[in-house]
């Protein structure tokens, strides 16, 4: 409406127009507030999603570290077991060599006594 048209309106018509504009303004303010709330909720979800992604990444790193620690532990156990088995094997070999020398020594003494007996 133009200024001339407004000037020609009755007071009651102007009041009605003002009332309608106020009503529309209240509706728009209410809608604006609802949209702000929805925006906050979405921002919170996005923020939480970012936080969840960070937590997932940290957990992934934690699991990788735990796996590496477990692998290192198993490797250490295998090395320890191998070292112990090697020590036992060396001890058995030494014992077998000692017994072999005793047998050879005993056999040589027996052969010499047989020769001396003749």
Which pLDDT tens digits describe the chain residue by residue (118 residues)?
A: 787 887 888 889 889 999 999 999 999 999 999 999 999 998 888 777 777 778 788 888 888 888 898 888 888 888 888 888 888 989 999 999 999 998 888 887 776 555 555 5
Percent share of the chain, pLDDT over 70: 92
pLDDT of residue 117: 55
- DSSP label at residue 9: S
| Average pLDDT score, the chain | 85
């Amino acid at each position: 409406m133009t200024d001339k048209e407004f000037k020609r309106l009755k007071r009651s018509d102007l009041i009605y127009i003002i009332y309608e504009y106020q009503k529309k303004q209240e509706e728009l303010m209410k809608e604006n507030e609802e949209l702000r709330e929805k925006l906050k909720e979405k921002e919170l979800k996005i923020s939480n999603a970012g936080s969840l992604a960070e937590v997932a990444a940290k957990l992934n790193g934690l699991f990788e570290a735990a796996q590496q620690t477990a692998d290192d532990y198993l490797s250490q156990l295998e090395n320890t077991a191998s070292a112990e088995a090697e020590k036992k094997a060396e001890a058995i070999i030494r014992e077998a060599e000692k017994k072999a020398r005793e047998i050879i020594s005993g056999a040589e003494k027996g052969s010499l006594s047989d020769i001396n007996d003749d």
